[in-house]
Chain A
Amino acid sequence: MSLTQLGFWAILLAGAVRLATPITLAALGETLVERCGIVNLGVEGMMALGAFVGLWGASGHGWQMGLLIGAAAGGLLGLLMGFAILKAGVNQIVAGMAITLIGVGLADYLFQVWQPSGRSAVVVALVPILRLPLLDHLPVIGEALFAQSPLTYLAVAAVVATAWALRRTTPGLSLRAVGDDPEAAQLRGINAVSVRMATLVVGGALAGLGGATMTVGYLGSFTDDVTSGRGYVAIAVVIIGRWSPIGAMLGALLFALFESLALLAQSQSAQLPVEFYSSLPYAITLLALVLTARTQSSPRALGRPLET
């Protein structure tokens, strides 16, 4: 199949949208978390734990339960992180690194306890594909936009809703106030600790859901390092997207486009080494990070602990 064939582009784009969904969900959570002033380096661990717990739940009780408890697991890690940085005053970066180790470690540990023989072929019913009639037959973009998992539609809706809510609603305004000037927000009667705690739980739940979206959404299995850095990519696309939910979604799509290309190239006996293609999504993300670095407008209190 060559670049000039429409079929190639249809498969590439459909794959990109599918692969962008978990990163979009995690990046949406991280956008909220950063907009209220916290850098959460724990996203990777939250995604990993969500990926395992989601698969485990789905194998016993169906994909709905899998997604639900995957999100819950991420939310719990968010709560732990919130407790560490907001109640105990731990450095955000260090707390995030610890959460990632705990999440990734727990996911691997529990998976091996569950499947001691290292069988990774656990059969679970995946989230069914939702085809929108007629639209899914559109050339090139039909499969990409109108024959996806309901999670993809949900993610897009959540991104648009969040972008609106951040601008137009009182909770959105409070969240941004805490991220820009927490002391002034406190003076106006906003409880900065509560806002940050709640946002971390939501951000963790979205990261956990993102992880579960990988295993329950399209992989159907769990392997060590299944997230392979997607949590960090989610943080990177928040910066690339300049802290806007829609920007983060576009950043996630960029990574996923090249990931989809890598998968296609591997299945088509490509000219260049397979490692070249697997590097591409990370290299492009790094490049985008470099190109957008000069025009950054981060939340003003990002990374700064609250004065208590």
Chain B
Amino acid sequence: MRQVTRAQGETAWLVVALFLLAATIVFLIVFAGADPWRAAKGLLDSAFGDRYALAETVVQAVPIAIVALGVAPALRAGIFPIGSEGQLAIGAVTATAAVFALRGVPAAIALPAGCVAGILGGAAWALAPAVLRARLNVNEILSTLLMNYLAANLVSWLVRTVLGAAEAVATPRSDRLPVEAIIPKIVDGTRLHAGALAVIVGAGALAYWINSTRGLGYDVFATHRTLAARMGVREDTAIISTMVVSGAAAGLAGWIQVAGLQGILYPSVAGGLGFTGVLVALLGGLRPLGIVAAAFVMAVLTTGSNGLQTDTGVPASIAVVVQGLVLLGAALVFAARQRKMRAAVAEVAAQAVEETP
């Protein structure tokens, strides 16, 4: 009897969350003076309308998914680095610098060089907060957030000076990367590039990690430090390795954003992708398939809302509100499910106690 009400509880939360989400979105669109029905159609058209639009949505999902797959091991271990935004920007800078330093080399060198430089740049930017957390117990949420602002300033200075374009430009940006350093396109007539393959590799790597003994130990580390220690997980190693991996992934995404799209570094290269990546990791339940799916949904939301602004004048920042509401809604449903599981465990335990003579 009680179990029935609990199961209903979870579904009820899901219905409540979805209803509130839909109601808020409709309200916001009407508030902006647009027709919600036309807006929804416009959003979906801009995201899926034709082959090109769909490819653009996938292109948007790629960096988000890479960031999310990279930050997942840290989040699974109970560590909350929120510095992907800055790490992505730094990775984009180091990749661009490496490519320009190696001007004139063939693609077989320019591509791996950019890739490795991006990864190293992102990882290096993540190393400082990782060591500070492991050795001095400095709160990683705040240190990574503060370092995002340092990264933004550093990148904006570099793009204005040493990495700046040779000709005079209105908005600061770098020169165009040499053609050898541009990631090749994989679908003709679209901007879908080979960087998308990194998502498949990353998803595979995360799947392997989750099912490995070590990955399991790190999962235990999140909630039971002493037990994890007995399983051979060292605290310092766990914190530093997962945080550096998250930085490396964000740096990789930075290289992909420069070398995969326009081949030009702008100071706004991160543009919220890092934050969205952390969000997507949580929404995707810290599992590879969930993350890839969530990254696609968030990309639909972003490209769709940009189209929405052009078509109907509804500001694109509606996407940020929806992101927040979706995260809150998903967390509500997740919490309800966890409560149910705990209650079930308690019930089994209580029965076991009753049956003991």
Of A98-106, A177-185, A204-212, the one touching chain B: A98-106
A95–B279 Cα gap in the complex (Å)? 11
Out of A89, A98, A228, A285, name the residue touching B324 (CB < 8 Å). Answer: A98
- By a CB distance below 8 angstroms, the chain B residues around A120 are none
Q: Taking the nearest CB of chain A, how far is it from the CB of B13, in angstroms?
A: 7
> Which residues of B171-192 have CB atoms within 8 Å of chain A's CB atoms?
none
Cβ-defined contact, B145 with A90, below 8 A: no
Cβ-defined contact, A98 with B28, below 8 A: no
Of B37-45, B258-266, B287-295, B313-321, the one touching chain A: B313-321
A169 in the interface (beta carbon within 8 A) = no
Out of B146, B279, B282, B332, name the residue touching A286 (CB < 8 Å). Answer: B146
- By a CB distance below 8 angstroms, the chain B residues around A294 are 136-137
| Nearest opposing residue in chain A for B326, CB measure | A98
Cβ-defined contact, A101 with B327, below 8 A: yes
Find the residue from A105, A112, A294 having the highest chain B CB count within 10 A.
Answer: A105
| Nearest opposing residue in chain B for A240, CB measure | B142
- By a CB distance below 8 angstroms, the chain A residues around B142 are 232, 235-236, 239, 289
A276–B322 Cα gap in the complex (Å)? 35
Interface string of A274-300 (1 = CB under 8 A from B): 011011001101100110011010000
Cβ-defined contact, A293 with B137, below 8 A: yes
| Nearest opposing residue in chain B for A231, CB measure | B145
B227 in the interface (beta carbon within 8 A) = no
B336 in the interface (beta carbon within 8 A) = yes
- By a CB distance below 8 angstroms, the chain A residues around B147 are 286
A112–B327 Cα gap in the complex (Å)? 23
Out of A105, A224, A239, A279, name the residue touching B150 (CB < 8 Å). Answer: A279
Cβ-defined contact, B315 with A91, below 8 A: no
Cβ-defined contact, A286 with B317, below 8 A: no
Cβ-defined contact, A275 with B157, below 8 A: yes
Cβ-defined contact, A289 with B146, below 8 A: yes
B149 in the interface (beta carbon within 8 A) = yes
Cβ-defined contact, A93 with B332, below 8 A: no
A148–B136 Cα gap in the complex (Å)? 38
B197 in the interface (beta carbon within 8 A) = no
A3 in the interface (beta carbon within 8 A) = no
Known: A105-B321, A228-B149, A275-B156. A98 touches B161 (CB 8 A): no
A293–B131 Cα gap in the complex (Å)? 13
Known: A88-B13, A278-B153. A109 touches B315 (CB 8 A): yes
A41–B31 Cα gap in the complex (Å)? 28
> Which residues of A195-249 have CB atoms within 8 Å of chain B's CB atoms?
224, 228-229, 232-233, 235-236, 239
> Which residues of B84-136 have CB atoms within 8 Å of chain A's CB atoms?
132, 136
| Nearest opposing residue in chain A for B139, CB measure | A239
- By a CB distance below 8 angstroms, the chain A residues around B321 are 101-102, 105-106, 109
Known: A88-B336, A91-B335, A279-B153. A116 touches B327 (CB 8 A): no
B346 in the interface (beta carbon within 8 A) = no
A179–B122 Cα gap in the complex (Å)? 37
Cβ-defined contact, A97 with B279, below 8 A: yes
A106–B319 Cα gap in the complex (Å)? 10
- By a CB distance below 8 angstroms, the chain A residues around B157 are 273, 275-276
Report the interface size class on chain A: 35 or more
Cβ-defined contact, B332 with A84, below 8 A: yes
The secondary-structure label for the interface of chain A is: helix
A21–B125 Cα gap in the complex (Å)? 32
Q: Taking the nearest CB of chain B, how far is it from the CB of A263, in angstroms?
A: 15
Interface string of B326-345 (1 = CB under 8 A from A): 01100110111011000000
B201 in the interface (beta carbon within 8 A) = no
B141 in the interface (beta carbon within 8 A) = yes
Out of B32, B325, B336, B338, name the residue touching A102 (CB < 8 Å). Answer: B325
A232–B85 Cα gap in the complex (Å)? 15
Cβ-defined contact, A89 with B153, below 8 A: no
- By a CB distance below 8 angstroms, the chain B residues around A41 are 141
Cβ-defined contact, A293 with B138, below 8 A: yes
B241 in the interface (beta carbon within 8 A) = no
Cβ-defined contact, B149 with A229, below 8 A: yes
A18–B146 Cα gap in the complex (Å)? 22
A116–B317 Cα gap in the complex (Å)? 13
B52 in the interface (beta carbon within 8 A) = no
Out of B141, B154, B339, name the residue touching A275 (CB < 8 Å). Answer: B154
| Nearest opposing residue in chain A for B318, CB measure | A109
Q: Taking the nearest CB of chain A, how far is it from the CB of B325, in angstroms?
A: 6
A102–B324 Cα gap in the complex (Å)? 5
- By a CB distance below 8 angstroms, the chain B residues around A123 are none
Cβ-defined contact, A98 with B331, below 8 A: yes
Cβ-defined contact, B331 with A94, below 8 A: yes
| Nearest opposing residue in chain B for A277, CB measure | B153
> Which residues of B296-326 have CB atoms within 8 Å of chain A's CB atoms?
313, 315, 317-325
B48 in the interface (beta carbon within 8 A) = no
| Nearest opposing residue in chain B for A285, CB measure | B146
A100–B325 Cα gap in the complex (Å)? 10
| Nearest opposing residue in chain A for B16, CB measure | A88
> Which residues of A110-167 have CB atoms within 8 Å of chain B's CB atoms?
112-113, 116
A80–B339 Cα gap in the complex (Å)? 20
Q: Taking the nearest CB of chain A, how far is it from the CB of B262, in angstroms?
A: 23
Interface residues of B (CB under 8 A from A): 13, 28, 31-33, 80, 82, 132, 136-139, 141-143, 145-150, 153-154, 156-157, 160-161, 275, 278-279, 282, 313, 315, 317-325, 327-328, 331-332, 334-336, 338-339
Q: List 18 A-B contacts (CB under 8 A).
A: A84-B331, A88-B13, A88-B335, A91-B335, A97-B282, A105-B323, A106-B321, A109-B315, A113-B32, A232-B146, A233-B146, A236-B139, A275-B156, A275-B160, A283-B146, A285-B146, A286-B143, A294-B136
Interface residues of A (CB under 8 A from B): 41, 45, 80, 84, 88-91, 93-95, 97-106, 108-109, 112-113, 116, 224, 228-229, 232-233, 235-236, 239, 273, 275-276, 278-279, 282-283, 285-286, 289-290, 293-294, 296
- Extra A-B contacts (10), CB below 8 Å, given A84-B332, A101-B323, A289-B142: A88-B336, A89-B336, A89-B338, A97-B82, A105-B323, A105-B324, A109-B321, A113-B315, A239-B142, A293-B132
